[in-house]
Amino acid sequence: MKRILGIIGIFLLLATTGPNLSNSFAGDWSWFQKRRNFGDSWKERIAKAKQQREDDRSEDDDSSDEDGPVEEPPVDQPPVDQPPVEEPPVEEPPVEEPPVVTDVDGDGFDGLAFGGADCNDDDAAVNPTASEVPYNGVDENCNGMVDDDDLDQDGFVQAQDCNDSDGAINPAAAEIPGNNIDENCNGMADDLVVVPDPDSDGDGVIDTADACPATAAGEAVDAQGCSDSQRDADGDGVSDALDQCPATPAGVAVDGSGCEVLPPDSDADGVADAADSCPDTPAGQSVNTNGCSAYQLDSDGDGVSDAIDLCAGTPAGVEVDGEGCTVVPPDSDNDGVIDANDACANTPSGQNVDASGCAQSQLDSDNDGVNNAQDQCPGTAAGAQVDATGCEIPVVQPPPHNLNAPMETLCASCHGYEASPGYSRMHSLHSYSCSTCHNF
């Protein structure tokens, strides 16, 4: 109403100040009506109207530059004695704020944003007094937990609890004997108390299956119960965690880091002393698997190394020279039998000899004093008298003796005998002894 009275006052003022001023303000009023903003005070609206008028004039000036000069209509000035027109103040109506709604879903609980306990103020089914709906993944009772997977509140969710409606049944519950109920959720109504298998080192692998029963606390283990500090894949006595040379061959000596310890090799020929048959091989000489060079080997055992032996394979016991070749022993009579084996050292040249180096001219097989070459009667009995041809000389027996004959007669009758001086003995002309005459 105050706005309407203000506008009527302006019209009355224009009617009393003359037609020129009325025309001038009439144009302004028409412009003002189009741009009024009743949200501003009357002073602000007049200031905005004047500013808008200046802007419109500037736009008219810009358009007149294009179409040629435009004469502006004369502006009638108000009489000097006329007081300035002041519009009465216009009071703005108070702005009423809408009421704040703190319980949007109308379930009787303010939302969390307004200090309430409703964890979802857009859903009336969710509030602190709501019942939890099983297994839907929603926190209906606003307790801060989606606890619908543990309805019996025994600390085990439905996926672990074989009976989620009974807090006495869960994987940690003690089995009660004789009731045929699976309290510990092991899949069996095992009423008998089951004693767990011992696990001495507490590594999660029972002792009967634990290949490393003394695992240190806190170390991760494999299915056999062994940690890296206990595992020894190559069996060298150094754990895999410390072994810098894995896959060491079996039986090889290693150091503390699991790497092979090379055995001593005094002559540095590449063959360890324990396997070196020739431990003093000179530097630079090639050796065989036994650590021997050709200068150290003597394959035929003749005392001359293979490196300089010109006669390899010399039979054992044969004397050799410095080049490993057989030394021919002396044969003084050149009969083909060396002196050391020659039983007849002075065999005449050209005669055949036996293995003992003796020719037939040097042999006397029947030991009758005549050599085989001249002996015409070989095999003469031992002790028999032989002639120059090796034949035995026959023995002539004396005739029967007459013991009653005089000695002279007896002695004379010994044919072929001669009496010794004094006829005391008779001697055979063939050197056979004759008994004394008085013995006949």
Q: How far is CA 326 from CA 8, 134, 186, 305, 314, in A?
A: 162, 111, 94, 15, 7
User: SS3 for 330?
Assistant: coil
Query: Residue 437: its pLDDT value, please?
Result: 45
Q: How many CA atoms lie within 13 A of 9 on its CB side?
A: 11
- State how far Cα 185 lies from the chain centre: 43
Phi, psi dihedral angles at 111 (to 5 degrees): -70, 160
pLDDT for res 172: 93
CA proximity to 203, closest of 236, 175, 231:
231
Amino acid, res. 127:
N
Q: What one-character DSSP code corresponds to residue 134?
A: T
Residues 6+ apart with CB under 8 A from 206: 197, 198, 199
pLDDT in tens, the chain (440 residues): 555 555 665 555 545 544 444 444 444 444 444 444 444 555 666 677 778 777 777 665 555 555 555 555 555 555 556 666 677 777 777 777 777 788 888 899 998 888 899 899 899 989 999 888 877 778 888 987 766 677 788 888 888 888 988 989 999 998 888 788 889 998 887 666 567 789 888 888 898 888 888 888 888 888 888 887 888 888 888 888 888 898 888 888 888 888 988 888 888 888 888 888 888 889 888 888 888 888 778 778 888 888 888 888 888 888 888 888 878 778 778 888 888 787 887 888 888 888 878 888 777 777 878 887 777 898 888 888 888 787 988 876 666 555 455 555 545 544 444 444 444 444 444 444 444 444 44
Greatest Cα-to-Cα distance within the chain, rounded to the nearest angstrom:
247
Alpha-carbon gap, residue 192 to 155, rounded angstroms: 25
Helix (H) / strand (E) containing 426:
strand 426-428
How far does the chain reach from its first CA to its final CA, in angstroms? 222
Q: In the structure, how many helices (H) and strands (E) does the chain have?
A: 4, 3
Residue corresponding to tokens 């709604």? 101
Q: pTM of the predicted model, to two decimals?
A: 0.22
